[in-house]
Amino acid sequence: MQVKIIPEPNEEVLVIRPFEQGAEPGNQRMFKGEKGELWWYSSNELWLGLGKTPKLPAITKIFRSLFFKRKDRWPVSITLDARGKSAEWVGNAVNGIVLGGYDLQLYKTEPKPLSTFFETGTLFVAADEGAIVQQSAENALKTGRVQKRIMDLMNAPSNYKKPLMLAEWGKQSGEANGYSVEVLEKDRLEDLGMHALLAVNKGSTDPPVMIVLEYIPEHYTQTVALVGKGVTFDTGGISIKPSANMHLMKSDMGGAAAVLGTVELAAQLKLPVRIVGVIPSTENVVDGSAMKPGDVIGSYAGKTIEVIDTDAEGRLILADGLHYAVKHYQPDVLIDLATLTGSIIQTLGYEAAGLFSTDDGLADALLEAGERTGERLWRLPVWDEYKEEISSDIADIKNYHGKPMAGAIVAAKFLEVFTAEHPAWAHLDIAGTAFGDIEFAPGRAGTAYGVRLLISYLSKLG
């Protein structure tokens, strides 16, 4: 799909005219402008209701839903009448239109047809400010394409995304988009002393990796390190999960996916910020060699960890990833993302991710980015009073407190130990937002949560 900005609507193709509730023309009985309401004013003119004073993230969802529901019926050329709308409004609309063409049929031998509009079609946008709107639309187009790639990655089953396959995805992206990728394989991890990552991997026949991405723009003043949890499948290990929804654990690399997508998109948009992505990746499965509850393991930071629950494995591999990022890159800002705890879903449901940080400025900037993009966050405490929950009798720290309360907070306190007291660190628990109930699937599917959030945050640093 290509986007062209024009001064007036192209009446020779289908024209979509969006109207807010209370601002629509014509017969009130026939069209009220309610959110998602459609009215065919003529065979070549579709009116779309936006509801009352919609926020920008709502614009993305409205267009995403509209284009997805009719994804097999769109003509090859469409005009969006966006006269009087801001460049940012147009960007959100275009992003929604691109996402509306997402096709979940990854491995079907006879997939249902998808309109050619999404691949080779043209979206004409009638708008007032040509150059500014064109740039916003182009950025939205790139963003949507990256999000769709990340959705594919999230929705792929674990036999199609082993840790080494995840690394290969990163290398191909780096080659295509001009950033460097280093893959630390098992021998190298052993030499470095990545004991926590290696311990989680002990039950798997597929070796672990640490994927290190580095995007360096021509000019920059800040370095941001992003660390993403890359558990490509999580059985829970010896502390095994119930079988009912275990198939969804193919999504336990949502943090890694967000980091991969953010670095790829940042390189395409040429953001003036140096970005380092660190992704520890492994399966967490079961065999006779698997890590056991009660084991004491080491870590790259040199601290010993008592393993109370092998299903609290994400924080173990993040411990090595966080310390590696701090030690080797000395970033100005350190952010980790992980589908880490069921506790955060119990707390916030599927509408927001948990934000943990002792840096008020960083927390506020991330919260604002969440509101701008609709990838919302809610801040929770990381007070030192919670430290005793991870105190161990026989090791420096334990990985789980075993109590039915404050699970997400205790996990954050565990991670904090491995940040070397970095002054600008934030942890995002995205367990409820990375894989959710959306229109793309009758069940749950990947959302690409984190990509727009982080790009919005990073864009304000340049």
Residue at token pair 């060699």 = 289
Decide if pLDDT at 440 tops 80. Answer: no
Cα–Cα distances (Å) from 387 to 232, 323, 396, 398, 412, in that order, read 29, 19, 12, 11, 10
pLDDT beyond 90 at 152: yes
Query: Measured between alpha carbons, how far is 142 from 236 in angstroms, rounded to an integer?
Result: 36
What percentage of the chain carries pLDDT values higher than 70?
98
Q: What does the mean pLDDT of the chain come to?
A: 95
CA atoms of 434 and 449, how far apart (whole Å): 5
* Predicted pLDDT at 26: 57
Q: Identify the pLDDT of residue 437.
A: 77
Distances (CA, A) of 403 to 186, 235, 407, 426: 34, 21, 8, 24
CA angle 124, 25, 18 (to 5 degrees): 30
Q: Which residue from 60, 128, 55 is spatially nearest to 94, judged by alpha carbons?
A: 60
Is the pLDDT confidence value at 99 over 60?
Answer: yes
Phi, psi of 322 (to 5 degrees): -65, -45
Tell me the C-alpha to C-alpha distance, in Å, between residue 167 and each of 34, 43, 164, 191, 260: 45, 49, 5, 19, 10
Widest CA span of the chain, in angstroms?
75
pLDDT value of position 4: 95
Which is nearest to 357 in space by CA: 305, 315, 404, 415? 415
| Helix, coil or strand: residue 354 | strand
Q: Which residues are annotated as a binding site for Mn(2+)?
A: 229, 234, 252, 311, 313
Q: Where are the beta strands (DSSP E) in 168-273?
A: 180-184, 209-215, 223-228, 230-234
Rounded Cα distance between 162 and 139, Å, is: 31
How high is the pLDDT of residue 25?
Answer: 63
SS3 212: strand
Binding residues are 229, 234, 252, 311, 313
pTM above 0.85, yes or no: yes
Q: Token match 């020779």: residue?
A: 12
Q: What are phi and psi of 427, to 5 degrees?
A: -115, 130
User: What's the pLDDT tens digit per position in 193-250?
Assistant: 999 999 999 999 999 999 999 999 999 999 999 999 999 999 999 999 999 999 999 9
Q: How far apart are CA 3 and CA 12, in angstroms?
A: 16
Catalytic residues: 241, 315
- 3-class DSSP string for 384-446: HHHHHHHCCCCCCEECCCCCCCCHHHHHHHHHHHHHCCCCCEEEEECCCCCEEECCCCCCEEE
Does the structure show a pLDDT above 90 at 155?
yes
Q: Identify the pLDDT of residue 125.
A: 96
Predicted pLDDT at 32: 87
The answer to whether residue 24 scores a pLDDT higher than 90 is no
The helix/strand/coil state of 230 is strand
CA distance 259 to 398: 27
> What is the CB neighbour count within 10 angstroms for residue 111?
11
Q: Establish how many alpha carbons lie within 13 A of residue 79's alpha carbon, considering only the half-sphere containing its beta carbon.
A: 17
- Residue 294: predicted pLDDT: 98
In this prediction, residues 336-347 reach a mean pLDDT of 97
Q: Which domains does the chain have, with CATH numbers?
A: 2-149 (3.40.220.10), 158-459 (3.40.630.10)
- Residue pair 281/230 in contact by the 8 Å Cβ criterion: yes
Which region among 125-129, 163-167, 317-321, 398-402 has the lowest average model confidence (pLDDT)?
Answer: 125-129
pLDDT at 129 over 90: no
Q: Give residue 441's pLDDT.
A: 72
